[in-house]
Chain A
Amino acid sequence: MSSFSIESVNPRRRRTDKVARGVVLALTLIAIVPLVLVVYYLLKQGLGAISWSFFTTDPTGSFLGDPGGVKSAIIGTVMMVGLATIFAVPIGVGVAIWLVEFGRESKLAHAVRYFIDVMTGVPSIVFGLFVYITLVTSGFGGTSFAGWKGSVALALLMLPVVTRSAEVVLLLVPNTLREASYALGAPRWRTVLRVVLPAALPGMITGILLAVARAAGETAPLLFTAAVVNDSTFNLDERMNSLPALIFQNVGQAQDRLVQIAWGAALTLVAMILILTLLARLIQRRSRLS
Chain B
Amino acid sequence: MSDDVTPRTREDQVYRDDPRLEVSGSPQHVAPETPRVEQREPGRIVRKAPPVVLERLNAWYGGMHSVRDLTLTFEANKATALIGPSGSGKSTVVRCINRMHEEIPGARAEGRVTLDEVDVYDAKVDVVAVRRSIGMVFQKPNPFPTMSIYDNVGAGLKLTARKVEHEQVERALRGAGLWEEVKDRLDQPGIGLSGGQQQRLCIARALAVEPDVLLMDEPASALDPISTLKIEELVEELKHSITIVIVTHNMQQAARVADSTAFMLNGELVEHGPTTKIFTNPDDTRTEEYVTGKFG
**Chain A residues proximal to chain B, CB less than 8 Å:** 104-105, 174, 176-187, 190-191, 194-195, 198-199, 201, 288-290
Instruction: Choose, from B40-48, B144-152, B242-250, B263-271, the stretch at the interface.
Output: B144-152
**B138 and A180 within 8 A (CB):** yes
**B159 and A174 within 8 A (CB):** no
Answer whether A185 and B160 are a contact pair too, CB < 8 Å, given A177-B145, A195-B144, A199-B145: yes
**B159 and A183 within 8 A (CB):** no
What residues of A have a CB within 8 angstroms of the CB of B131 in the complex? 182-185
**B128 and A185 within 8 A (CB):** yes
Once bound together, how far apart are the Cα atoms of A123 and B244, in whole Å? 60
**A184 and B146 within 8 A (CB):** no
**A289 and B189 within 8 A (CB):** yes
**B100 and A179 within 8 A (CB):** yes
What residues of B have a CB within 8 angstroms of the CB of A186 in the complex? 128, 156, 159-160
What residues of A have a CB within 8 angstroms of the CB of B103 in the complex? 178-179, 182
Within 8 A of A (CB), among B194-217: 202, 205-206, 209
**Chain B residues proximal to chain A, CB less than 8 Å:** 98, 100, 103, 105, 128-132, 135-136, 138, 140, 142-148, 155-156, 158-161, 188-189, 202, 205-206, 209
Answer whether A184 and B209 are a contact pair too, CB < 8 Å, given A176-B138, A177-B144, A194-B159: yes
**B142 and A176 within 8 A (CB):** yes
A180, A187, A194, A288: which has the most chain B beta carbons within 10 Å? A180
What residues of B have a CB within 8 angstroms of the CB of A182 in the complex? 100, 103, 131
**B206 and A184 within 8 A (CB):** yes
Q: How far is the CB of A237 from chain B (nearest CB, A)?
A: 40
Q: Which of B129, B140, B143, B160 contacts A184 (CB 8 A)?
A: B160
What residues of B have a CB within 8 angstroms of the CB of A105 in the complex? 105
Once bound together, how far apart are the Cα atoms of A180 and B155, in whole Å? 10
Answer whether A176 and B140 are a contact pair too, CB < 8 Å, given A185-B128, A185-B159, A290-B189: yes
**A184 and B189 within 8 A (CB):** no
Once bound together, how far apart are the Cα atoms of A184 and B188, in whole Å? 22
**B144 and A183 within 8 A (CB):** no
Q: How far is the CB of A253 from chain B (nearest CB, A)?
A: 52
**A180 and B144 within 8 A (CB):** yes
Q: Taking CB as reference atom, which chain A residue is nearest B158?
A: A194
Answer whether A174 and B142 are a contact pair too, CB < 8 Å, given A184-B160, A187-B128, A289-B148: yes
Once bound together, how far apart are the Cα atoms of A191 and B100, in whole Å? 14
